[in-house]
Amino acid sequence: MSGVEHAVEIRDLHKSFGELEVLKGIDFSVEPGQVVCVIGPSGSGKSTLLRCVNLLEQPTSGRVVLEGVELTDPDVDLDAARRRVGMVFQQFNLFPHMTVLENVMIAQRRVLKRGKAEAERVARENLEKVGIAEKCDAYPAQLSGGQQQRVAIARALAMNPALMLFDEPTSALDPELVGDVLAVMRKLAEEGMTMLVVTHEMAFARDVADRVVFMDGGVIVEDGQAAQVIGDPQQERTKAFLRRVLDPTHTDV
Ligand SMILES: Nc1ncnc2c1ncn2[C@@H]1O[C@H](COP(=O)(O)OP(=O)(O)OP(=O)(O)O)[C@@H](O)[C@H]1O
Ligand SMILES: [Mg+2]
């Protein structure tokens, strides 16, 4: 052992669905306090990678180590390990029949067994952090998509995760609502949250991420400093992808 503990370490990770090999040997790690953005074309395996990190998917082979705990060890306490990881999806998945406050309290109560007063205090604190304290008593349907996504972020933060995973958190939002959600994520990054973010927001990736990982066809094609991967990519496939996303009218490749 080197004694250096990564927040998350992924070694030779493979994942197949039947005949289809979606992840073909992924290696990378995220250090505590780092923000790593994963970019790449549709179907390249980005969501599958994230889902393997919190074991929503069982890897076919390879290792996922979270804060020194090997998740792929058959004897691991998976529930305990999963509690260390917060996940925010494109879809917010809030309970429609519960208020915002109740949505942020429920997992604290059920999973962490926090008392009502403490769960409520933590919920209010995190709703304040994401800028929607005044919506505590509203129901999800009464909120904009951007507000609902911020509730989903507060809900994840209320569990005190060591690592936050985001899978295209702004892709379902109207363009004018994207900025508020990105601003919350930027603030989290500045506060030192460890984050692994799948995103198509290249400006966010360039400005906020410590590292950018470009995936294509189930492999990591390029991994480096954000400014370098986005501003001066080395691989042809990365260049072609960035041309397409930065200028959608571009039609080569
Ligand atoms: N549960 C599943 N069963 C079978 N195939 C799956 C499953 N989940 C994903 N796949 C396949 O794995 C491949 C990678 O999917 P994945 O969702 O990881 O891609 P992605 O990079 O997140 O794409 P997008 O940018 O469109 O979200 C796709 O071909 C997809 O159809
Ligand atoms: Mg995806």
Asked whether 199 lines ligand 1 (CB < 6 A), one says no
Task: Pinpoint the alpha helices (H) of the chain.
Answer: 46-53, 78-82, 100-110, 116-129, 145-157, 175-190, 202-208, 226-231, 236-246
Asked whether 120 and 102 are in contact (CB, 8 A), the reply is: no
**Surface-to-core class of residue 27, CB atoms within 10 Å of its CB (0-12 exposed, 13-18 middle, 19+ buried):** middle
pLDDT at 71: 87
Please give the structure tokens belonging to residue 235: 């691989």
Measured in Å, residue 189 CA sits from the centre of ligand 2 at 22
Asked whether 155 and 60 are in contact (CB, 8 A), the reply is: no
Asked whether 17 lines ligand 1 (CB < 6 A), one says yes
Residues of the chain predicted below pLDDT 70: 1-4, 248, 250-253
> Which of 24, 37, 44 maximizes ligand 1 atoms within 8 Å of its Cβ, making it the mutation to test the pocket?
44
Protein residue closest via CA to atom 8 of ligand 1: 48
C-alpha dist (Å) from residue 130 to 136, 221, 244: 12, 34, 32
pLDDT at 55: 84
> Which of 26, 46, 168, 196 maximizes ligand 1 atoms within 8 Å of its Cβ, making it the mutation to test the pocket?
46
Q: Which ligand sits nearest to residue 39's alpha carbon?
A: 1
Using the CB atoms, write b or e for 221-249: b if 16+ within 10 Å.
bbebebeebbeebeeebbeebbeeeeeee
Cα–Cα distance for residue pair 120/44, rounded to 1 Å:
40
> Which of 17, 56, 196 maximizes ligand 1 atoms within 8 Å of its Cβ, making it the mutation to test the pocket?
17
131 Cβ partners below 8 Å, 6+ apart? 150, 180, 184
Asked whether 44 lines ligand 1 (CB < 6 A), one says yes
pLDDT at 1: 47
Q: Is 68 left (phi over 0), alpha (psi -120 to 50) or beta?
A: left
Asked whether 103 lines ligand 1 (CB < 6 A), one says no
Asked whether 129 and 154 are in contact (CB, 8 A), the reply is: yes
**CB-CB neighbours of 18 under 10 Å:** 5
Measured in Å, residue 165 CA sits from the centre of ligand 2 at 12
Asked whether 43 lines ligand 1 (CB < 6 A), one says yes
pLDDT at 49: 97
Measured in Å, residue 136 CA sits from the centre of ligand 2 at 30
C-alpha dist (Å) from residue 194 to 84, 97, 110: 11, 32, 25
